[in-house]
Chains A and B, each alone.
Chain A
Amino acid sequence: MAKLDDLEIIESVRRGNVSDYSLLIDRYKHKAFSMIFRMLKNRMDAEEVLQDCFVKAYNNLKSFKGDSLFSTWFYRIVYNTTLSRLGMKKRQIEEMMLSIGEELDFEDPDADTSGRKKEEKELLNKVIEKLPPNYAAVINLFYLEEMSCEEISVILNTGVPNVKVLLHRSRTALKKLIKENNLEDELR
Chain B
Amino acid sequence: MKHYNDEFFNKMIDGEVDDSTRREFLHHISECKVCEVEYSLLQKAHNSFRQIDIEEAPPTLNMMVLKRITRVVKPSAGGKKFFIGMLIGLTAMLLVLFGYAFEVGKNLSPKDQKPLLDFSKIDLSFLQEFFNSFKGFSEVFTPEFGGTLILLVISIGTYFFVERVKTK
Contact = CB atoms under 8 A, between A and B. Distances in A.
Interface stretch (B46-54, B89-97, B109-117, B138-146): B46-54
Contacts of A55: 65, 68-69, 72
Nearest to A124: B48
Contacts of A29: 57, 61-62
* Residue with the greatest number of chain B CB neighbours at <10 A, chosen from A120, A139, A187: A187
Interface stretch (B18-26, B37-45, B78-86, B151-159): B37-45
A32 B103 CA distance: 69
Interface in A110-152: 120-121, 123-125, 128, 139-140, 142-144
A34 B61 CA distance: 14
Contacts of B70: 18
A15 interface: no
Interface size class of chain A, counting residues whose CB lies under 8 Å from the partner chain: 35 or more
Contact of B42 (A123, A172, A188): A172
Contact of B45 (A25, A26, A171): A171
B53 A172 contact: no
Contacts of B118: none
A58 to B, nearest CB: 5
Nearest to A187: B44
Contact of B54 (A19, A26, A31, A51): A31
Interface in B4-43: 6-7, 10, 13-14, 37-38, 40-42
A124 B55 CA distance: 14
Contacts of B51: 120-121, 124
B10 A178 contact: no
Given A22-B66, A175-B6, A187-B44, 10 more contacts: A21-B65, A25-B61, A46-B55, A54-B65, A124-B52, A164-B10, A168-B7, A171-B49, A175-B38, A178-B45
Interface of B: 6-7, 10, 13-14, 37-38, 40-42, 44-58, 61-62, 64-66, 68-70, 72-73
25 contacts: A25-B61, A26-B62, A30-B54, A33-B55, A33-B57, A46-B55, A47-B61, A51-B61, A51-B64, A55-B68, A55-B72, A59-B72, A124-B48, A128-B52, A139-B49, A164-B14, A171-B10, A171-B13, A171-B42, A172-B10, A172-B42, A174-B45, A175-B6, A178-B41, A187-B44
Interface of A: 18-19, 21-22, 25-26, 29-34, 37-38, 46-47, 50-51, 54-55, 58-59, 120-121, 123-125, 128, 139-140, 142-144, 164, 167-168, 170-172, 174-175, 178-179, 183-184, 187-188
